[in-house]
Amino acid sequence: MKSADIVSYPSTVLAPEIGPTIKRDMAMARQSADMTRAVDLTKERGAGPVRTSHPQWLDLLPPCNNACPAGEDIQAWLALAQAGKYRQAWDVLMRDNPMPAVHGRVCYHPCEGACNRNELGAAVSIHAVERFLGDMAADQGWLPSFDAAASGKRVLVVGAGPSGLSAAYHLTRLGHIVEIHEAGPVPGGMMQFGIPAYRLPRADLMKEIARIERMGVRIVLNRRVEDLVAAKQAGGFDAMFVAIGAGRTSAAASASASRRPERPPAPQNSVCCASTTLGSMKIGATGRLFQALADSSDASAWSSITCMARASWR
């Protein structure tokens, strides 16, 4: 190394006792620069004191939210619940889902299947927290807050199943007056007729429906709507939402089930539609199912159906 390579500082800048030290360090720096090329910060990007990028907070849709059929803002209400702000968490949840106690029991929680925490161990128990918040709201008698101005518009909802109840809830939140006409003797649709009571206790279901009624929704039972236009005009409604659901199946569907190639041909009247059968059991009309079983020699079918009838739909 040439002596000219060593930077020397004027004595007015450095104290005499540290000057030699600086000179020695600078010399060593020059030596190491021979092995590792010095970064030219005037031309190159890379490590060094010049920042060319910096982090930003972006609020993107997380996988749980994306997977939730109800489109819930899961990360928002989970954060509030984690902070012990259960009422606020429930309010956020209720912006999207009017029945958290029901979903917290019967939803097959695809949100948890999509959870990033699966890569690290196990998913966040979103389903359980949702149920906890739903049950707490029912116990405390909470009502969702909404501040939309009354529109003065009246809406007829046909059908008091999940779709009709949800539509009525959201329309009420938007300030409309809603009336539901339900053909059956109880509200709830497939939640009543298609899900066993051990999975969805009817008392919990009815609490969530009662809350929708307390918000102002009028549910008229045993009112079958045959003519939509006539019903709209007779009630003076401004709009209608038809939510007759998928509970009613056609004879053609039952017939096609018996024609599936992998099955042996079924004797006439021996194929029962599942939803129709469950609905019949709910209201005590089990005749066709048990007639079909009486024609069957399948003991396991007998056993399972009898248990189901005893335990689930009573």
Task: Name the helix (H) or strand (E) containing 239.
Answer: strand 239-242
How many Cβ atoms from other residues are within 10 Å of residue 261's Cβ?
4
Q: Which is nearer to ligand SF4, 110 or 235 (CB)?
A: 110
Least distance to ligand SF4 from the beta carbon of 102, Å?
A: 9
**Cβ distance to ligand SF4 smaller for residue 111 or 292:** 111
Tell the smallest beta-carbon distance from residue 62 to ligand SF4 (Å). Answer: 11
Q: Under the rule (CB under 6 A), what is the footprint of ligand SF4?
A: 68, 70, 72, 74, 103, 107, 109-111, 126-127, 130
Distance in Å, CB of 61 to ligand SF4, minimum: 13
Q: By C-beta, is 130 or 182 nearer to ligand SF4? A: 130
226: amino acid identity, one letter: E
Contact 101, 137 (CB under 8 A): yes
Shortest Å, Cβ 128 to ligand SF4? 9
Of 138 and 292, the one with the shorter C-beta distance to ligand SF4 is: 138
Nearer to ligand SF4, 70 or 231 (CB): 70
110: exposed, middle or buried (Cβ count in 10 Å: 0-12, 13-18, 19+): middle
**C-alpha to C-alpha distance for 19 and 1, rounded to whole angstroms:** 19
**Of residues 127 and 207, the one with the C-beta less far from ligand SF4:** 127
Report yes or no: 31 and 24 within 8 Å, Cβ to Cβ: no
The whole-angstrom separation of Cα 209 and Cα 99 is 8
What gap in Å lies between CA 199 and CA 104, rounded to an integer? 11
Phi and psi of 141, rounded to 5°? 70, 30
Shortest Å, Cβ 284 to ligand SF4: 31
Least distance in angstroms from the C-beta of 85 to ligand SF4: 18
Measured from the CB atom, the residue of 103 and 181 that comes closer to ligand SF4 is: 103
Which pairing describes strands 218-220 and 239-242: parallel, antiparallel, or unpaired?
unpaired
d(CA 187, CA 221): 7
Look-up: residue for tokens 């090329």?
Answer: 37
Q: Which residues, 6+ apart, have CB-to-CB distance to 47 below 8 Å?
A: 39
Closest approach of ligand SF4 to the CB of residue 194, in Å: 17
Degrees (nearest 5) of the Cα angle 136, 103, 127?
A: 75
Report in angstroms how near the CB of residue 77 gets to ligand SF4 at its nearest: 9
> With respect to ligand SF4, which residue has the nearer C-beta, 78 or 219?
78
**What does the alpha-carbon distance between residue 77 and residue 98 come to, in Å, rounded to a whole number?**
14
Q: How far, in whole angstroms, is CA 211 from its chain's centroid?
A: 19
Q: Which amino acid is at 107?
A: C
